[in-house]
Structure 1
Amino acid sequence: MDTTQQNSNAWDQKVEEGSRYTKSVSSEVIEMSKSGEWEITVTTEKSVPRNWFPKSLEGLKILCLASGGGQQAPVLAAAGADVTVTDISKKQLEQDELVANRDGLTLKTVQGDMADLRIFEDEYFDIVVNPVSNLFVKDVQPVWNEVSRVLKNRGILIAGFTNPLLWIFDDNQERKGILDVKHSIPSSTLDYLAEEAVQDYIQSNQTIEYAHTLEDQIHGQIDAGLVITGFYEDDFGGTRIIDKYIKTFIATRAIKVQID
């Protein structure tokens, strides 16, 4: 099956349903960003430290990768950056266009797969911002490789991703307050469905998600020529029982370093 198309359709549906990650920022947030008071998230709750970015974003080329929804890209554009946002969901990108049109911003939207950035030139971007999203691709290494290719030397990657420990628990049970260890890592949503349930799941327009190992997430960046220079953890803000025991989201800052 075409996982990319499945997840594209699923995220279009999430926009229709008003999911948290499809709700664009307000005009008030944009006005504050224009005046220099801006922040973004790449995980769930915590804002990215401002010192992870250059002091000024003016004129910097930033790629917001798999980042539709009218959240990160408009804020960075309002802060002065030359922003391109790409996402597999057309409706998510329409959220960015809505904010840009509403608040007089200039940004470019491109529908596409985060693991295939061939539309972009080598070493074109100064910064890539990649919120939690690589759980929607089967193999994460091509994502890191493409990010490294499109980043300039000394360019910055700010990425959010899921701690694989979240995936070992039965999701339905965890949401009821029961931590039931059930799954192995790596794995995918479909691995634990009964054969007769798979087609129903697909037809219900739900996302197919992949649990990647920490080795794939962190060493994968290193293998792509990126040097990790920042790290923090995040959680669901206390809304899930697992927050009592461990943080289940990770953000990293990495710099592309070319070694001759």
Structure 2
Amino acid sequence: MLNISEHNREAWNRMAARGCQWTLPVESDVIHSASSGEWGIRLTATKFVPRTWFPEPGKRILCLASGGGQQGPILAAAGYDVTVFDLSESQLEKDRFVAERDGLHLRLEQGDMRDLSRFAGESFDCVFHPVSNCYIPSVQPVWKEAFRVLTAGGILLSGFNNPIVYLFDVEAEEAGRLEVSYSIPYSDLTSLPKPLLDQFMENGDPVVFGHSLEDLLQGQMDAGFVLAGMYEDTMGGRRMLDPYISTYMATKALKLG
């Protein structure tokens, strides 16, 4: 059987080597601006998270599945106590590079987002979790672990795909057509025809999963959270659906005392 965690770790290492959008470390001027109070980071593709969603500087933030030298270093420069947790060692190296270049203090931890057992309960005041749960077959472990490691009054900030993006045939969309071919929940492993799946695996692409809105939203509430905010975003023109519907979502959830 495929070890999904190991496969996706290697895939993200390759993506980091190729320099995809989410693996490019921020420049020093971005860090300098953040240290002066001018900063913004994204849970999704284009929109900045409202600053009112964050706790005050000095609080402990876990950047969950958030390596790449972007969000973690900016938050550290803005005055937060930051731990970056990511499956890919290459992504964590991007954070280490920025921290050493700009004199930042970051704790870097490698692991699977579904298992935060190395952290005691109530270790963090905020969990920042940008779009990444599409790389695991079930999101419930992430919500439960995030709830456990947050303090009472803690904040979970999450970004994820609108499941509608997984309905359409990939090859047809690349050819300029939208053809409904798959159902939700979606899995590359069981939804794709074997020749296309074999091609993806040969290319070393990450294995992707599309979760239901019930799992993404009600799943947070089932874990104990109260949803306190949300917004939608597009993929910045990277999908044919972008002119018609937002294809990303972001939520703010609270662990009440």
TM-score bucket (shorter structure): over 0.9
State the 1:92 CA deviation.
Answer: 0.4
Q: Does 1:47 align with 2:48?
A: yes
- Give the aligned length: 256
Maintained 8 Å contact 1:84/1:110: yes
Question: How do 1:219-230 and structure 2 match up within 5 A?
Answer: 219-230=218-229
Give me the whole-angstrom Cα distance separating, in 2, the residues matched to 1:201 and 1:236: 21
Please list the CA deviations of residues 227-260 of structure 1 after superposition, one character each: whole Å capped at 9, or x if unmatched. 10010000022343211110010000000024xx
Query: What one-letter code is carried by the residue in structure 2 that aligns with 1:64?
Result: C
Give me the whole-angstrom Cα distance separating, in 2, the residues matched to 1:238 and 1:197: 24
RMSD (Å) for aligned C-alpha atoms: 1.3
Gaps of 5+ in 2: none
State the 1:175 CA deviation.
Answer: 3.1
Structure 1 equivalent of residue 185 of structure 2? 186
Query: What one-letter code is carried by the residue in structure 2 that aligns with 1:212?
Result: H
Give me the whole-angstrom Cα distance separating, in 2, the residues matched to 1:196 and 1:155: 45
Give me the whole-angstrom Cα distance separating, in 2, the residues matched to 1:81 and 1:120: 18
State the 1:193 CA deviation.
Answer: 3.4
Maintained 8 Å contact 1:34/1:79: yes
Partner of 1:243: helix, strand, or coil? coil
Instruction: Give the TM-score normalised by structure 1.
Output: 0.95
Partner of 1:229: helix, strand, or coil? strand
Identity fraction in percent: 49
State the 1:149 CA deviation.
Answer: 0.2
Structure 1 equivalent of residue 209 of structure 2? 210
Q: Does 1:19 align with 2:20?
A: yes
Maintained 8 Å contact 1:174/1:242: no
Q: Which moved more, 1:238-247 or 1:71-80?
A: 238-247
Partner of 1:184: helix, strand, or coil? coil
Give me the whole-angstrom Cα distance separating, in 1, the residues matched to 2:214 and 2:150: 22
Please list the CA deviations of residues 71-118 of structure 1 after superposition, one character each: whole Å capped at 9, or x if unmatched. 110000000111000110000000000000011000011000000000
Give me the whole-angstrom Cα distance separating, in 2, the residues matched to 1:188 and 1:80: 39
Instruction: Give the TM-score normalised by structure 2.
Output: 0.96
Maintained 8 Å contact 1:122/1:149: yes
Q: Does 1:172 align with 2:171?
A: yes
Maintained 8 Å contact 2:23/2:68: yes
